[in-house]
Structure 1
Amino acid sequence: MQEALQILQKYWHYDAFRPVQEDIIRSVLEGNDTFGLMPTGGGKSLCFQVPAMVNEGLCLVISPLVALMKDQVNQLQARDIKAIALTGSIKPDELIALLDNCQFGNYKFLYLSPERLEQDWVLERIKALPISLIAIDEAHCVSQWGHDFRPSYLKIKNLKQHFTKIPFIALTASATPPVQEDIIGLLGLEAPKVFQQSFARHNLGYFIIKAEDKLYKLNQILTKNPQSAIIYVRNRKNCHEYAAQLKALGHKTTFYHGGLPVKEKEKNMVSWMQDETPVMVATSAFGMGIDKPDVKTVIHINLPENLESYYQEAGRAGRNGEKAFAVLISSPSDVVRAESQFLSVLPDTAFLKEVFVKLCNYFRIGYGEGINEEFPFSLNQFCGQYKFPAVKTFNALQFLDRQGILSLSQEFSEKVQIQFLIESREVIRYSSLNPDDATVISVILRSYPGIFDLQTNINTVFIAKKANTTEAKVLHLLEKLKNLNIVAYFSQQNESKITFLEVREDDRTINRVSKHLEKQNQVKQKQLDAVIRYVSDEGSCKSRLLLGYFGEKNTADCGICSYCTQKKPSSFTIEAIRTEIVRLLAGKDMTSRDLAAVLPTEEAEMLEALKQLLEHGIISFNTKNQYTLHKK
């Protein structure tokens, strides 16, 4: 381990390993198959990077995320360590050259997606490389009970037949006990050494807060905790809206989502990292590679899809070891919305078959034909032609992609971007003078908040449908507005591509994979059920509920979550709270929100005191819906 420690100090400038890291690295260096379960921020990548640097030869890293591969390769190269990633966008000729570099260029790390292993010639070339270690990152993807199943991960086991004496290391940040068993079995790990770091975060308080007016509650939390914060929202529209509303309330706020231009993402990220705008409003696209230790609060405005992703996102708070908060603001309607967002968009077998058949017809592919044929593809136009819901259709296509039936290039940035260059009142004036254009402009303004502030991706098929016109007329209007210098208008030409990997066989094709689809949908349902139980259970410690979900038993109450803090005796008696309310109302009439902002007590206790004062006729309501002292 002395050499491993020297490498850690030389390349990563850390003085020592964390306890579980050291155990895992020792196991790998001893030649054992190894499984490591380490929460986000636990330093998983070092568990294979350090032993790979100790050993001669090349470390093969299998990872499902292009962005994650690129990020790790960039970090290694910045440390003068030779590493490359074979991403899906690389052409075959270039791929051959890169594999030659791996064989003869003294590289230490080769990153690739599991889908690359399905290409026989790539697999044959890999067998000829001087592999010393095979690392499987995000290993939960191998399990159909994991939250991000990738069928191509099942092919990894085939590497065992060739690299019989090479240790395998499988790593994940989130796996329940059944998923852990699946990972070990499906990867063919032989007598693996298993290491698990506890999911407990002793400085992080998990809070469930019930509130109908989420913006009001959000403002309360950020006012009380003005340090660095992340607010996770459902979609891009919410992202812009909450950022604008919080900014109007005086909070220094920025935002981040997948549709922003790269320069805008980088600018907003730097602004947040440097605390120029300490509040970041973001979608789930904000996450990979974030390493800001002083985040005080992570707030979820909506229910997450599963507890695995919630734990990872919430865990971005308090990495410096200081007290921090993970808050989920919940309202009674959230469950219905979550079911609509996560479950109603899941394709069943009938819908999957309809999408596949229509897709083949769309490209005029005959039965028994189509293998290796490639086509440019617009999701919006395809859904518009067949009146398919876009998200559900994308999920169906993504499933077909993961089953190896077709390949879907991940370039789903919508092809049209615009930004209004004149003030909103001038746009309204233009609309009144040009009534033929007014409906389309009105739909754009209603659908895309922030379109005056930055260049925004828009869905022209959606706009045309809402405005009861054609996409061609929408595009013609945008060109006209561009020529009048009313909008900046940019049309992207790099549409997505679909490649058919099998011949068209309709029923036979879909029936073969339908059992995987049904299991995937069952997993999604069970995961959402677990989220709902976590939010609705008012009789258990929130930390214990999370730890129990990940298989940790016999844990103690954390003492700092919403359940534990409510159990603690209040420093104020109800009588003292009543006295304080009467004193405040003697000065002026106040709403419950006004009182909550100044009373040093829990809201539930305040409401109980107000209820008692109303029942005894000491206070009453005035016409402005304020509490007032009863006039005798």
Structure 2
Amino acid sequence: MPEAVALLQKYWKHDKFRSLQKEIITSVLGGHDTFAVMPTGGGKSVCFQIPALMKDGICLVISPLVALMKDQVANLQKRNIKAIALTGGIRSEEMIDLLDNCQFGNYKFLYVSPERLQSDWILERIKNLPINLITIDEAHCVSQWGHDFRPAYLKISELKKHFPTIPFLALTATATPSVKIDIITELGLHEPHVFEKSFARENIAYMVFEVEDKLFRIEQILKKNPQPSIIYVRNRKSCLEISSQLNSLGFNATYYHGGLSSKEKDKNMEAWMDEKVQVIVATNAFGMGIDKANVKTVIHIQLPENMENYYQEAGRAGRNGERAFALLLTNPSDITQAENQFIKILPDKKFLNLMYVKLNNYFQIAYGEGINEKFNFNLHRFCLKYEFPTLKTYNALQFLDRQGIITLSQEFSEKITLQFLIPSKEVMRYMSLNHNDEEIILAILRTYPGIYEMQTAFNLQLISKKSSHKESEILAVLHKLKEKEIIDYHSKNNDATILFNEVREDERTISRVSKHLENQNQLKKEQLKAVVNYVSEKSICKSRLILNYFGEETSVDCGICSFCITKKIKKKDTKLLSKEIIKLLDEDDLNSRDIQNKTRSSPDDVIFVLQELLENEIILVKPNNKYTLKS
């Protein structure tokens, strides 16, 4: 394969292929349908980009991730390779021009979402292109048992009718055994050559620690490992809070989440990539196309939604092959919080049906009508009107979108953001002098406690309800506060749009798709159960647990995870430790960290003995989390 290696050297500056890349490229060049499971960081994109460059024509890449499509197109363009992505928000006239470029402009790559292929006129144009390879990225989306099922993927197999001699290449980073079978079946792959890279990452030590004070443990980890680190958190507010706390402790930290502007994202990302900061605190919006080889630690401080996501995020550590750490810090309340975040917000059939009926009523669509009608839509206003929980409603709308019943534009950021610029003491002084504004300002401060530290998304309807003032009155106060430079205030007109793709049939519509909903809800529950098992299981190697989840059986322990390390450490005599703790508590009340330091014991040993002493009613926990002897 001298030509393939020459292209690798010319465009990617590498002299040799990584594991399985050469075999996959050979299979594709031989005209075979090919299916590859390559864990994150394995170099999946090269597997279709090299063979596409070696053949005449254009490679069609089907991907559900707009950010990844844009990232790959930008990277190809940087290498002077002609590539186009048909992403959302492109007008029909512009789309026609782009497709003309593909047909007549010697382009090598066309990226589309699976939903785009459902437009008949786009499909007709693609059928007339000189397609040399059809690549299905994130192929697990075709499976109802995958962690991101998208019904539009089920229609990809129809391309086989139009391109019977063109090879399909299906790629995914994570797939359980049942998902692998689904991918081959649903995509209609013909006698595919299957390549699977082991999910084992022998240089990553998977660590799970139950801790009371997560920030203190993070501080210990980062001091011990001063190399580049990622800390994954659950929401945008935590990004700012944790990065601020780390900066105050003397670490250089920045943050990244979906609510930042492109300029802020690029600036913060660059600071971390160039190692001007050690730590980037991020939501799961961070990671698309990130390939930093020397990440030493990836820390999760809340439970992930599923093992697929956790494996991908943890796998951003140690891509240079050196020892790295994937740490998950937990405490007993995390499981309840994860259930609240991931399970309790799932819409059931009853809620989906009610929400769909109200949605049609909201836009005054009569039964049997509404097809192809488009409306501006404000999610928060809709939820307020019908007293629906926002996240559950959003999930229900997303489900209808994925089933093709509606098309939902993804523009759900708040219309207003604001931040207080003066200290709280000065705000109180202002309220004492301006009694008419007091109720509105108090409602804002009580609803958004972090509004002094950061630009905060602001729900006008919610504050109207809480303060018992009209929206116009609240806006007048906000304008006044901005003029006096008390707040920084931004307003955007960015309502979403909803396109109804079917006539309104209420329960008939929902009954048709409810089985998919039940399957998805059950899957999410099972996935979270697997995460809880990973965290709670104390008698199996953590690396083996991950491999078993993805269908790789092994009886060999990794030797470096938290379970394996604990096995190696000689356990302290619990009776002696118990006596030592009782003696210390006889002198003073102490928290677990103080006890750990004074006894020079491991956190696990200390927690075990403290639990025993609590159960035997020898000690008590005070409201300030300090332990004391029971009198």
Q: 1:211 to 1:607 in 2, by over 3 A?
A: closer
Counterpart for residue 617 of structure 2: none
Q: State the shift of 1:109 in Å.
A: 0.2
Counterpart for residue 618 of structure 1: none
Q: Which amino acid aligns with 1:172?
A: T
Q: Which amino acid aligns with 1:418?
A: L
Q: State the shift of 1:596 in Å.
A: 3.5
Q: Distance in 2 between matches of 1:387 and 1:547?
A: 44
Q: Distance in 2 between matches of 1:249 and 1:454?
A: 19
Tell me if structure 2 keeps the 8 A contact 1:482–1:488. yes
* Deviating more after overlay: 329-338 vs 97-106: 329-338
* Deviating more after overlay: 30-39 vs 426-435: 426-435
Counterpart for residue 350 of structure 1: 350
Q: Distance in 2 between matches of 1:292 and 1:465?
A: 47
Counterpart for residue 31 of structure 1: 31
Give the SS at the match of 1:114. Answer: coil
Tell me if structure 1 keeps the 8 A contact 2:204–2:325. yes
Q: State the shift of 1:325 in Å.
A: 1.2
Q: 1:442 to 1:16 in 2, by over 3 A?
A: farther
Q: State the shift of 1:299 in Å.
A: 1.3
Tell me if structure 2 keeps the 8 A contact 1:240–1:450. no
Q: 1:469 to 1:304 in 2, by over 3 A?
A: farther
Counterpart for residue 438 of structure 2: 438
Tell me if structure 2 keeps the 8 A contact 1:307–1:527. yes
Q: Distance in 1 between matches of 2:529 and 2:627?
A: 40
* 1:99-141 Cα deviation digits (max 9, x unpaired): 1111111000000000011111111111000000000000000
Tell me if structure 2 keeps the 8 A contact 1:259–1:456. no
What pairs with 1:87-486 in structure 2 (closer than 5 Å)? 87-448=87-448, 450-486=450-486
Q: Distance in 1 between matches of 2:277 and 2:569?
A: 37
Q: State the shift of 1:232 in Å.
A: 1.3
Q: State the shift of 1:212 in Å.
A: 2.9
Unmatched runs of 5 consecutive residues or more in structure 1? 615-620
Counterpart for residue 542 of structure 1: 542
Q: Distance in 2 between matches of 1:357 and 1:244?
A: 45
Counterpart for residue 518 of structure 2: 518
Q: State the shift of 1:452 in Å.
A: 3.7
Q: Which amino acid aligns with 2:109?
A: F
Q: State the shift of 1:248 in Å.
A: 2.6
Q: Distance in 2 between matches of 1:626 and 1:493?
A: 50
Q: State the shift of 1:468 in Å.
A: 4.3
* Deviating more after overlay: 241-250 vs 361-370: 241-250
Counterpart for residue 570 of structure 2: 570
Q: State the shift of 1:81 in Å.
A: 0.2
Q: Distance in 1 between matches of 2:389 and 2:142?
A: 29
Q: Which amino acid aligns with 1:500?
A: F
Counterpart for residue 64 of structure 2: 64
Query: Structure 1-normalised TM-score?
Result: 0.92
Q: Distance in 2 between matches of 1:167 and 1:545?
A: 35
Q: State the shift of 1:534 in Å.
A: 1.0
Counterpart for residue 48 of structure 1: 48
* 1:388-435 Cα deviation digits (max 9, x unpaired): 111100101111111111110011121111122333332232123234
Q: Distance in 2 between matches of 1:453 and 1:222?
A: 24
* 1:501-535 Cα deviation digits (max 9, x unpaired): 11111122111111111111111111111111111
Tell me if structure 1 keeps the 8 A contact 2:572–2:605. no
Q: Percent identity?
A: 61
Counterpart for residue 7 of structure 2: 7
Q: 1:59 to 1:445 in 2, by over 3 A?
A: same
Q: 1:446 to 1:236 in 2, by over 3 A?
A: farther
* 1:533-579 Cα deviation digits (max 9, x unpaired): 11111110000000000010124111111110000043988899999
Give the SS at the match of 2:44. Answer: coil
* Deviating more after overlay: 295-304 vs 245-254: 245-254
Q: 1:205 to 1:94 in 2, by over 3 A?
A: same
Give the SS at the match of 1:543. Answer: helix
Q: State the shift of 1:627 in Å.
A: 10
Give the SS at the match of 1:90. Answer: coil
Q: State the shift of 1:239 in Å.
A: 2.1
Counterpart for residue 618 of structure 2: none
Tell me if structure 2 keeps the 8 A contact 1:241–1:449. no
Q: Distance in 2 between matches of 1:527 and 1:69?
A: 27
Tell me if structure 1 keeps the 8 A contact 2:418–2:458. yes
Tell me if structure 2 keeps the 8 A contact 1:32–1:192. yes
Tell me if structure 2 keeps the 8 A contact 1:233–1:302. yes
Q: Distance in 2 between matches of 1:523 and 1:218?
A: 32
Q: State the shift of 1:215 in Å.
A: 2.5
Q: Distance in 2 between matches of 1:416 and 1:334?
A: 31
Q: State the shift of 1:381 in Å.
A: 0.7
Q: Which amino acid aligns with 1:499?
A: L
Counterpart for residue 617 of structure 1: none
Query: Structure 2-normalised TM-score?
Result: 0.92
Counterpart for residue 503 of structure 2: 503
Q: 1:590 to 1:392 in 2, by over 3 A?
A: closer
Q: State the shift of 1:450 in Å.
A: 5.0
Q: State the shift of 1:9 in Å.
A: 0.7
Q: Distance in 1 between matches of 2:239 and 2:543?
A: 28
Q: State the shift of 1:483 in Å.
A: 2.2
Give the SS at the match of 2:115. Answer: helix
Q: State the shift of 1:613 in Å.
A: 13
* Deviating more after overlay: 79-88 vs 427-436: 427-436
* Deviating more after overlay: 356-365 vs 472-481: 472-481
Q: Distance in 1 between matches of 2:108 and 2:332?
A: 53
* Deviating more after overlay: 476-485 vs 521-530: 476-485
Q: State the shift of 1:223 in Å.
A: 3.1
Tell me if structure 1 keeps the 8 A contact 2:296–2:318. yes
Q: Distance in 1 between matches of 2:12 and 2:625?
A: 60
* 1:166-192 Cα deviation digits (max 9, x unpaired): 000000011100000000000000000
Q: 1:526 to 1:575 in 2, by over 3 A?
A: closer
* 1:34-72 Cα deviation digits (max 9, x unpaired): 001011111111110111001110000000011111000
Q: State the shift of 1:226 in Å.
A: 3.1
Q: Distance in 2 between matches of 1:22 and 1:440?
A: 64
* 1:360-387 Cα deviation digits (max 9, x unpaired): 1111111121111111111011111111
Tell me if structure 1 keeps the 8 A contact 2:231–2:300. yes
Q: 1:129 to 1:303 in 2, by over 3 A?
A: same
Tell me if structure 2 keeps the 8 A contact 1:271–1:277. yes
Tell me if structure 1 keeps the 8 A contact 2:413–2:494. no
* Deviating more after overlay: 426-435 vs 192-201: 426-435
Q: 1:481 to 1:608 in 2, by over 3 A?
A: closer
Q: 1:337 to 1:127 in 2, by over 3 A?
A: same
Q: 1:441 to 1:264 in 2, by over 3 A?
A: farther
Q: Distance in 2 between matches of 1:197 and 1:444?
A: 52
* Deviating more after overlay: 559-568 vs 294-303: 294-303
Q: Distance in 1 between matches of 2:530 and 2:512?
A: 30
Q: State the shift of 1:76 in Å.
A: 0.3
Tell me if structure 1 keeps the 8 A contact 2:137–2:170. yes
Unmatched runs of 5 consecutive residues or more in structure 2? 615-620
Give the SS at the match of 2:10. Answer: helix
Q: Distance in 1 between matches of 2:97 and 2:606?
A: 70
Q: Distance in 2 between matches of 1:593 and 1:163?
A: 64
Q: State the shift of 1:481 in Å.
A: 1.2
Give the SS at the match of 1:134. Answer: strand
Give the SS at the match of 2:322. Answer: coil
Counterpart for residue 77 of structure 1: 77
* Deviating more after overlay: 208-217 vs 383-392: 208-217
Tell me if structure 2 keeps the 8 A contact 1:237–1:449. no
Q: 1:165 to 1:469 in 2, by over 3 A?
A: same
